[in-house]
Amino acid sequence: MAFRDDGAEKARVLVEALPYIQKFAGKTIVIKYGGHAMVDPLLKESVMLDVLLLHSVGIRPVLVHGGGPEINAMLKKVGKESQFVHGLRVTDAETMEIAAMVLVGKLNTEIVSIINRFGGKAVGLSGKDASLFLAEKKPMRLPNSRGEMEEIDLGYVGEIYQVAPDLIETLLDRGYIPVISPLAGGEDGETYNINADTAAGKVAEALKADKFLLLTDVRGVLRTLGEPESLISTIRREEVTVLMEQGVFSGGMMPKVECAIAALAGGVGSVHIFDGRLPHAILLELFTDGGIGTMFT
């Protein structure tokens, strides 16, 4: 009897997923992958299996990854302290070299290897390949102790001003899974470090993706901080200003919300912010009636 009950539950899950699979078949979904799900080996495999399943049922996934914890660890090994301003890594020449080594030489190849080991066809890229991203030095102005606005030099931190999606679309059309690290070239010949959330959002906009998924280390947008049961499942664009005034978007959630709103304005169908630490979080968000995070529409 236990076996039959287990089988019935599996069948129910598949039946619940079917209309979503049918709805999203042929659609492009951009996934920003980072946080704890990128550090834990079991969670890493769980995410890659989800991506591969999406691909196997006819969805066109594009993966854009970060790598902050790994970059921090490598900088620590060489005796260099990580510095951040408003969540952006201050990136001098040495830090840029280390970030590129970690993002492209280590993490990108690891992700591609896992997907391919499971039977997928992943291709690793950086934003510098085929001038996928063009960026310029990101300006930053903050008030000083006298209340005057002062220029802050973030080093080789870039702001993307152009995305050329042709290479990604060609790979998708030929059945490949693009895996992109957030580096960009500039017309000045420099390499720039790009915030992974921002890079993923720009890719989603350029592809006019049906969905943009942001995997984070929190459940989603909470109406009351620290109370998971206060999760807001759906937020419409016209509600964002009111929620901002109410202080709902606190701490590190604010940049992600701004990224979500920019993506919607750029033509993305919907943006989902959810906890990537849950095993198979992508499937739970996309293929179940309730989802597990917050959807912006």
Residue 146: per-residue pLDDT: 75
- Residue ranges and CATH numbers for the domains of the chain are 25-293 (3.40.1160.10)
- Between strands 177-181 and 60-65, the pairing is parallel
Binding residue numbers for substrate: 67-68, 89, 193
C-alpha span between 247 and 256 (Å, rounded): 15
Residue 1: per-residue pLDDT: 42
Residue 94: per-residue pLDDT: 95
Contacts of 173 (CB under 8 A, 6+ apart): none
Q: Which residues of the chain have pLDDT under 70?
A: 1-5, 251
Binding residue numbers: 67-68, 89, 193
Q: Read off the pLDDT of residues 130-149 as tens digits, 9 standing for 90 and up.
A: 999 999 999 988 877 777 78
Q: Read off the pLDDT of residues 22-51 as tens digits, 9 standing for 90 and up.
A: 999 999 999 999 888 888 889 999 999 999
pTM, 2 dp: 0.93
